[in-house]
Structure 1
Amino acid sequence: MAKARWHHMLMESQRHALKAVDEWNCSSGNYSDFLTHMHKAWHYLLHAEFYKDKIEYHYTDPKTGKYQLIDGEPKAWDLERCLRQRYPNSADPVRLNAELFVALRNKVEHRYEHGLKIVTGGKAQALVMNYEQELVSHFGLAYSLAERLRFPVSLQALTAEGREQIRMAAAKLPKPTRDLVAKFEAAIDPGVRDDVKYDYRVRLVPIIGSKTDADLAINFVRLDELSDDERRIMVEAGRHGTVIVRDRHVEVADKDKLLPRQVAFQVEALVPFEFHVQPEHTEMWRRLGVRPPTSSADPYDTDARYCVYNETFKSYAYTPAWVSRIVKEIGTVVKYRAFFEREPRPKKVTELTTPAGVPAQASIDEQALRDKIA
C-alpha cells in the first residue's frame, strides 16, 4: 500500500534532523549545515502536520484568491509563516527558539561558527528536543528519533584548558552577531528566556562511587524529586557555573497532568451542572478519540494534546488542555444536551471536598439550574 504524502514529507524531515545532529556532534562538523538542516527538518515537519490535518499551507493572491506559483507549482509557506500558524502565541518559547535560528541562519560567518556554536549551545539543544517533542506528539512514538541519537562525548567540559578555549572563542564573536542574539532576547520576557524550551542548560558532574547495574553513563536528575537541601545545592551550582555544557533529555512525562477524578472536579467547577468520571468523562474521551480503549494493543495511541499513557502505573493522565476542551464541548446546558442527548444533573448544594491541588468552587443553586434546564 502506498504511503500517504505526509509520511514521505516526515521521512525527509527526519533525514534532515539526523544530518543536523551529526553536523553538531562531529568534531569537524559545520555549524551552518546544522542550521540549514534543522531549518529544513522543522519546515518539512510542519508541512507534514498541515497536510495531514488538511490545513492549507500555500500562499494565495489576496485579490484573486488563487495560488501564488513558483515554476508552475503553488508556493508553500516559509518556516516563519508555518511557526506563526502552529504557535499563534508570539511569546511561545518553542516558536521563539526556532525564530532565533531562522535569523541566525542568514548571519553566520564561517570563521566565527565555533564561537557562535558555543554561545547558542543550549538553544540548539532545545531546538532539537522541541523538534522531537513536536514529532512524537503529532505523529506518535513510532516516529521518534530517540533511539538513533546519543549523548556526545566532549573534552571541553573535562579540562581547564577546554573551558578557557570556550571563553576565548565566545569572546571573539563579531559585534553584529552578538548584537543579533542580544537584541532578539531583549524583547523576550525573562521567564521565557529561562524556559527550557527556549534554552536548555545542564551541569555535568562526574559520578563517584561503586557502579550499580542501574547506572548509565548519563543520569538525569529531576529537581522536583530532590530534597529542599539537595535542590538548593543543585540550583546554586547551576547559577554560578561557567562551563557551557548543555543538553536536554525528555520532557517530564506527567508534569501538570491530571487523573480522571481531578479532571472531573475541575470541569464541574467550571460548568453549571454535575460532571463525573462515569459516565461523562469516559464517554467524552471515547467519542473524541483522546485515548484508546483499555484493551487496546497500543496504549500509547493517545492525542498527546490531551492525554498521555503512564507506563509505570499502566494508566492514563490528562492535560489542563483537556479540561478546557471538555468545557468548550459541553460547558453549557444547551451544549451538554447536544453532546450527550440527555439532560444534565443539577449540582447539589453541598460542602465540596476536592483532591489535592483542585480548588473548591461554590455550587450554584439547584432550583436555579432546574429553571435554566426547563
Structure 2
Amino acid sequence: MARRQRHWPMIAASQAEGSLAVRLYNDPVEGRSFEGFVVHMHLAWLYLLHAEFTRDGKDYRYRQRNNPRLLERVDGEPKRWELAKCVAERWPTDDPIRRNIEFFIGLRNKIEHRYASNADLSLAVALSGYAQALLLNYEEELVGQFGEAASLAGLLRFPLFVGSFTDAGETTLRRLRKALPAALRTFVSEYESGLSNDLINDRRYEFRLRVTNELAPKDSEALAIQYTRYDDMTEEQKAIVEELGRKGLVVVREQKRGVLNHELLKPRQVVDQVAQQVPFVFHMGHFIKAWQKLMVRPSGDSDHPERTDEKYCYYDELHRDYGYTGAFVKKLVRDLKTVEGWRSFFEDDPQDKESGEWIIEPEQNLPQQRRSVETDPSRTGDE
C-alpha cells in the first residue's frame, strides 16, 4: 500500500479551517463571526500554501542570517514562512488574489481583539464582497492544485438570508454599514488608494453580485441559486447585465453613501498637504479641478450630495459640506509628483514651486493655451 503523501494532512487541516470560517460567518448568533471568519481563513490559506510548497519540494523554513545552513527555531521547532511571505512567493505583486489576501492580513491586525460585536456586524456588511472573493479564490486554488476531490462545495451550502431582499433588511444593512469604525474606513480607503482601477474591479479582489428572480420555466436539473460568470456570457447577455447595472434596477448593495466627518480633511487641508509633497505649485484651483476630474463628489447643485466616491470623500449632512480622506491626498501626490504625471492629469504644464517658472515642453509654442487651471491660489469657488 502506497504511503500517503506528506502534504495531504495539511490539505485536510486547511479544509477544516475553511469550513469553520464559513460556518462562523454564517452563524447569526455568533458575536464575533466576521473576526472568526478572517482568522480561520487566514489559517486555511496558510495551510494550503504550505501543502503546495511541501508537494513541490520547496523549503519554506526560515534560516539564520549569519549561518544559512542552520534553521531558525521557535520553541525548538523550525520557523516556517508566515502567510504574507507565502503569498509573496506564490503570486506577483499586482495579482488580485494576492491583493485580496493581503487586504485581509492587514485587516486581521486591525480587528483582532479590538472591537465589539456591533463593529463586527458592520464589517461583515461593508466587506462581504471582499470576504466572498477570499473564499472563492481559496476554493479555486484548492481545486486547481489538488483536484475536485478537495473541493469544499460538497460541505458548504448557500445560506438562507433576508439581507436587502426586504425593505426592513435594507434599512438595517445601511445602518450597520454607517456604524463601521472610522479607523477601519480609513484602512480600507488607504489600502485601495495604491491599487489600479482594473484590480479593484476584478472579481478576485472584491466579489459583487446583482440579484434577480429567475423568470424562466423551472429546470429540473438546475440549482435554486446558480452563478454565471460574466466572462462565460454571450455578448447579448453581457449587454443586458450591463444595462441593468447602469439603470440600477436590481441593486442589492445600497446606493446611499455614508455620512462621516471623523478623521476627514477640509479642502484647504488637502491643498496644503498636496502642496507640501509635490514639487509644483498646487492651489485651490487645482484641487477643484482634481475632484471634478476624478468624480470624487457631485457638483454643488446636485440633488444627491451624498453620492461620493467613499475612497476619497464623504458628505457631512449636518454641516452640508464635504470631507476628504487621506487616500485622496495620496492619490493626488502619486499622480502629480512628476512632470509627466502632472501633464497627463491636468493637460497643462506645471509651475516649479521653488523658482516659480513654468516647466514647458519644448514643442509647446503656446503654453498659455494649456493652462486651463486658474493660477490664483486665493481662489475660493466651489470647494
- Please give the alpha-carbon distance, in whole angstroms, between the structure 1 residues aligned to 2:83 and 2:134: 14
Aligned position for 1:180? 187
Q: Residues 4-83 of structure 1 correspond to what in structure 2 (within 5 A)?
A: 4-29=5-30, 30-65=33-68, 66-83=70-87
Give CA-to-partner distance per residue, 1:334-355, whole Å, 9 cap, x none. Answer: xxxxxxxxxxxxxxxxxxxxxx
How far did residue 202 of structure 1 move?
A: 1.1
> Do residues 107 (structure 1) and 114 (structure 2) align?
no
Letter of the 2:159 counterpart: P
Report what 1:156 is aligned to: 163
Cα pair 2:210 2:251 within 8 Å, conserved: no
C-alpha separation in 2, matches of 1:226 and 1:64 = 56
Q: Secondary structure at the match of 1:152?
A: coil
Once the two structures are TM-superposed, the CA of residue 63 in structure 1 deviates from its matched residue by 1.6
Return the match for 1:135 from 133, 136, 142. Answer: 142
- Aligned residues between the structures: 244
Which AA in structure 2 matches 1:52? R
Amino acid corresponding to residue 62 of structure 1 in structure 2: R
Indicate the larger mover: 140-149 or 35-44: 140-149
Distance 1:6 1:163, change over 3 A: same
Give, in angstroms, the shift of residue 101 of structure 1.
0.6
Residues 209 and 252, structure 2, Cα contact 8 Å, conserved in 1: no
Measured after TM superposition, the shift of residue 229 of structure 1 is: 5.2
Which residue in 2 is equivalent to 1:331?
none
Distance in 2 separating the partners of 1:47 and 1:228: 40
Give 5+ residue unaligned stretches, structure 1.
246-374
- State the shift of 1:209 in Å: 5.2
In structure 2, give the amino acid aligned to 1:5: R
For normalisation by structure 1, the TM-score amounts to 0.62
What RMSD over aligned residues (CA atoms) do the two structures have, in Å?
1.9
Q: Find the partner of 1:120 among 111, 123, 127.
A: 127
Read off the aligned partner of 1:120 and give its amino acid letter.
L
1:3 has 2:4 as partner: yes
Q: Which residue of 1 aligns with 2:290?
A: none
Mapped partners of 1:232, 1:212: distance in 2: 24
| CA distance in structure 2 between the partners assigned to 1:141 and 1:229 by the alignment | 31
* Aligned match for 1:190, one of 197, 222, 228: 197
Give the match for residue 341 of structure 2: none
Conserved 8 A contact 1:121-1:244: no
Residue type at the aligned position of 1:67 = L
Conserved? CA contact 2:211–2:252, under 8 Å:
no
Deviation of 1:129 after TM superposition, in Å, equals: 0.9
Tell me the equivalent position of 1:303: none
Q: Deviations over 1:16-74 (max 9, x none)?
A: 00000111122124111111110000001111111111111011112211211101111
State the shift of 1:226 in Å: 5.0
Change (3 A) 1:60 1:153: same
| Distance change (3 Å), C-alpha of 1:57 and 1:225 | closer
C-alpha separation in 2, matches of 1:76 and 1:47: 9
What's the CA shift for 1:212?
Answer: 3.0
Task: List alignment gaps of at least 5 residues for structure 2.
Answer: 255-383
Give the Å deviation of 1:213: 1.7
How do 1:159-238 residues align onto structure 2 when only pairs under 5 Å count?
159-208=166-215, 210-223=217-230, 228=235, 230-238=237-245
Tell me the CA shift for residue 158 of structure 1. 1.4
